[in-house]
Amino acid sequence: MRAYKVYAIERGTVIDHIPKKKALQVLEILGIDGDDDSIITLGMNMHSEKMGSKDIIKIENKKLTRHELNKIAIIAPNATINIIDEHKVKEKIKVKVPRVIENAIKCGNPKCVTRHQPVITKFYSIDSEEIKFKCHYCEKEFYADEVQLL
């Protein structure tokens, strides 16, 4: 039997199937910097049957909001969220990239009006071979790995 490389938690959230090297960005989205005392376990470049390699995050005593889930979906569209209670998986949620994303993505176009005026950003996710995000205002399109979050 293979020893666990990431410790189990009693209660909290496991974010699995994060693309490799994106775990730190997910922590940033969630505003987690280890300042409170809950246990955070981070696994990077772990082996995955499905993805080759992946990142994983376990956070004790944390429930994610819809807005946080949406933001995670932008950079980790295939992530799975496991809600853990008494060491057991109580619920499994696959994140879904929302069709309309408001106030989460910073437009990558330096000439976009949203970069210069107080305008709430709005993007549409476009389902093609790879997910792309289109700015409602300047109409420029960006791949998920080009996207900067607010």
Partner 1 sequence: MNFKNKDIISIKDFSKEEIIHILETAKKIESRKAKPSLRGKIMGSLFFEPSTRTKLSFESAMKRLGGRVIGFDSAEASSAKKGETIHDTIKMVEIYADVIVIRHPLEGSARVAAEATEKPVINAGDGANQHPTQTLLDLYSIKKTQGRLTGLNVALVGDLKYGRTVHSLLMALSHFNCRIFFVSTESLRIPKTYLDFLASKNISYSEHENPEEIIDKVDVLYATRIQRERFPDEAEYEKVKNAYVIKSSMLSNVRKNLKIMHPLPRVNEIDMSVDKTPYAYYFKQAAMGIPVRQALLCLTLGVLK
Residues contributing to the site for partner 1 (CB under 8 A): 109, 111-114, 116-119, 135-141
Q: Is the CB of 49 or the CB of 145 nearer to partner 1?
A: 145
Q: Is the CB of 20 or the CB of 136 nearer to partner 1?
A: 136
CB of 97 to partner 1, least distance (A): 19
Q: What is the distance of C-alpha 120 from the center of its chain?
A: 20
CB of 77 to partner 1, least distance (A): 20
Q: Is the CB of 9 or the CB of 112 nearer to partner 1?
A: 112
Q: Is the CB of 63 or the CB of 106 nearer to partner 1?
A: 106
Q: Cα dihedral sign for 39, 43, 44, 49? A: negative
CB of 70 to partner 1, least distance (A): 22
- Please write down the long-range contacts of 130-137, taking CB distance under 8 Å and 24 or more positions apart: 131/77, 131/97, 133/74, 133/101, 133/105, 135/107, 135/109, 137/107, 137/112, 137/113
What is the distance between the alpha carbons of residues 36 and 76, in angstroms, rounded to a whole number? 25
CB of 118 to partner 1, least distance (A): 6
